[in-house]
């Protein structure tokens, strides 16, 4: 019988648990932070030393400011002009309604005049019947009705 030799997998050490948290950065990494801040400061210093970059940056900021001001002014102008248009439309509608109301008043006056004339005509016709009856001697007949 042959003896089995232990495999290399059995001889390996068991896996150890690795923590999720990273260890503190080494001292060299914290020393790199001031160096990065110094690099940022050097970039700003380069901008200050280069007049062309300063001029272009200032010009770009000025153009953006002017464009923003123009956009806000156009928005305000548009809102005001729309309000003016609505006010004019409302005034036109009010004038139209007033004209229609005046026409209705004219028609009402004509109807009232026709009513007065018709009432006068009916009264006159009744009076004519009474006169005819009186002439014919039928006054008593009209009173019986």
Distance separating alpha carbons of residues 97 and 100, to the nearest angstrom: 5
Domain borders along the chain are 39-144
Q: Give the model's confidence band at 74: pLDDT under 50 very low, under 70 low, under 90 confident, else very high.
A: very high
Q: What's the pTM value of the predicted model, to 2 decimals?
A: 0.36
Count of residues in the chain = 145
Q: Which residues touch 47 (CB under 8 Å, ≥6 apart)?
A: 53, 54, 57
Q: Give the model's confidence band at 49: pLDDT under 50 very low, under 70 low, under 90 confident, else very high.
A: confident
**Which residue's entry shows tokens 């030799």?**
5
Cα 121 vs. chain centroid, distance in angstroms? Answer: 63
């Amino acid at each position: 019988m042959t003896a089995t030799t232990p495999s290399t997998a059995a001889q390996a050490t068991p896996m150890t648990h690795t923590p999720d948290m990273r260890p503190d950065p080494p001292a060299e990494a914290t020393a790199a932070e001031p160096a990065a801040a110094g690099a940022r400061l050097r970039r700003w210093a380069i901008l200050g030393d280069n007049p062309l970059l300063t001029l272009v940056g200032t010009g770009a900021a000025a153009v953006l400011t002017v464009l923003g001001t123009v956009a806000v002014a156009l928005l305000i102008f548009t809102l005001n002009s729309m309000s003016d248009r609505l006010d004019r439309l409302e005034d036109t509608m009010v004038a139209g309604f007033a004209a229609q109301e005046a026409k209705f008043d004219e028609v009402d006056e004509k109807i009232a005049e026709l009513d007065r004339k018709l009432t006068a005509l009916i009264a006159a016709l009744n009076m004519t019947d009474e006169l005819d009856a009186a002439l014919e001697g039928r006054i008593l007949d009209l009173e019986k009705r």
